[in-house]
Each structure stands twice: as C-alpha cells, then as structure tokens.
Amino acid sequence: MRRGGFSIIEIVITITILGILLALAVVSMNASQVNARDAERKADIEAIAIQFEGYYKNPMSGSSTMWGDQYFMSGGSYPGVEYLDNSGLTIITPEADPKIFRAPGVSVDQPPSIIKATNAVQTPTGVQPQPTTKTYVYQALTKTGAVCIDPFLATCVKFNLYYRLEKDDSIQMVTSKNQ
C-alpha cells in the first residue's frame, strides 16, 4: 500500500527541471536586454547622423550662429570635432533630444557619450580612440582627409560615426551622405 505524497526522487527531479528552466529564462532575458541596448545605440547614431546632416544642409547656407564669443557655421560644413560638449551640441543641434548623445545607461545629467576621433583612419578598427559600449566616436574630415577640428579652419566635408555593439563586440561605422 502506497501513502500519498511525493518521493524524494520526484521532488529532486522537479527542482532540477525548474532550475534549468529558470537558468534558460535568465539567459534569454540577458540576451534581450543586450539586443535592446544595441538597438538603442544604432538608433542614437542614426539620429545623430540626421542631426549633423541637417546642420550641413541648413537652409541658411553660409550663415553663422553666435554663441558666447564663438560662431558656429552652418550650411555646407559638418560640425568640427571640437563642438561635442553639451553647449556645442545644443547650439549645432537645437532640435535634438539630448538622450541621443548618450549611450544606453548614461544619464542626461552626465556629459555626452560622443567623443572626438583623434586620427583620420576611416575604418572601424583604425579609428582612435576606439568606441566602447558607453561611448560613440565622431570623426569629421576635411577635403584632404585630415581630422576637421573646427569648420572655420577648414570645411568639414564628411563625417563618420562609430559605435560598438555589445552582442558581438563589433564596431559599426555610419558615414555622412556627402562623401
């Protein structure tokens, strides 16, 4: 005659199965979060590129905007790499949501995640500094291919934006429409 209840073996098997299912759920959730952060990075870079294209194609071509004792050119030039702080980005992209300049997990109270390239190597593996999952790299270039620091010194005729995907640790590059 058998008594009611579960045997120790049945309980151990049930707990083991639940543990495996829980582990699979955690792995799946982590992968989903990584994919979401990568999608946000891609969307940020695309939005930044659109803002910089708008700056280049400003209908007030050749005009300047006064900010402090500096002027920001617009129309026919992309922003130079020196204008990537909060104040500069606010002036050159007044319509932009400040969140696009911050990588996933970076608060709008913190400095922008977009940093300037220090070399003119136009490949994901050659650009310096390398982007991280918390930083984007902006590389403005002159017609000679040098890094464009300030559009008043030389016209910034094209740009590249670089970002790193968390999922596969690869570096992606988005180029300007005007090359």
| Domain membership flag for residue 1 | no
Within-domain flag for 66: yes
**95-106, pLDDT tens digit by residue?**
899 999 999 999
Determine, yes or no, domain membership for 109.
yes
Q: Please, which residues bridge with residue 72 across strands? A: 65
For the stretch 132-166, what's the b/e string if a residue is b when 16 or more beta carbons lie within 10 angstroms of its beta carbon? ebebbbbbbbbeeeebbbbbeebebbbbbbbbbbb
Choose the weakest-confidence range: 17-26, 58-67, 134-143.
58-67
In a domain, 3, yes or no: no
Domain for residue 67, yes or no?
A: yes
Number of domains comprising the chain: 1
Find the mean pLDDT for residues 139-146. Answer: 94
Check residue 2 and give its pLDDT: 63
pTM: 0.81
Residue 33: inside a domain: yes
The verdict on residue 128 lying in a domain is yes
Predicted confidence band of residue 107 (pLDDT cuts 50, 70, 90): very high
* pLDDT confidence band for 62 (50 / 70 / 90): very low
Pair 150, 129: CB distance under 8 Å: no
**How much is the pLDDT for 65?**
53
Whether residue 124 lies inside any domain: the answer is yes
List the domain range (segments joined by +) for residue 106. Answer: 8-175
At residue 63 the predicted structure's pLDDT band, cuts being 50, 70 and 90, is: very low
